[in-house]
Amino acid sequence: MLGWTLVFVVLAVVTGLLGFGGIAAVAADIAQILFVVFLLLFVASVVVGTLRLRPER
């Protein structure tokens, strides 16, 4: 998923430099949404991993 985020970021930068505003805006929006999803999944996996590492009594 992080790979797709990077692809859309690069696409947004390239199309922005070439002057295709609409395409760049759509690619930037998709990249932003994917980044937020990736960040939420990362935080969830850290929390779950931390809970699993806690020693049981």
Say what the pLDDT of residue 31 is. 84
Roughly how many angstroms between the first and final C-alpha of the chain, as a whole number?
A: 37
Say what the pLDDT of residue 23 is. 80
Say what the pLDDT of residue 22 is. 83
Say what the pLDDT of residue 7 is. 82
CA pair distance 27, 43, nearest whole angstrom: 24
Which residue's structure tokens are 């930068």?
Answer: 13
Domain residues of the chain, as ranges?
2-53
Mean pLDDT in runs of 10 for the chain (57 residues)?
77 80 83 87 87 75
Say what the pLDDT of residue 57 is. 67
- The pTM of the full predicted model, rounded to 2 decimals, is 0.63
Contact between 41 and 1 under an 8 Å Cβ cutoff? The reply is yes
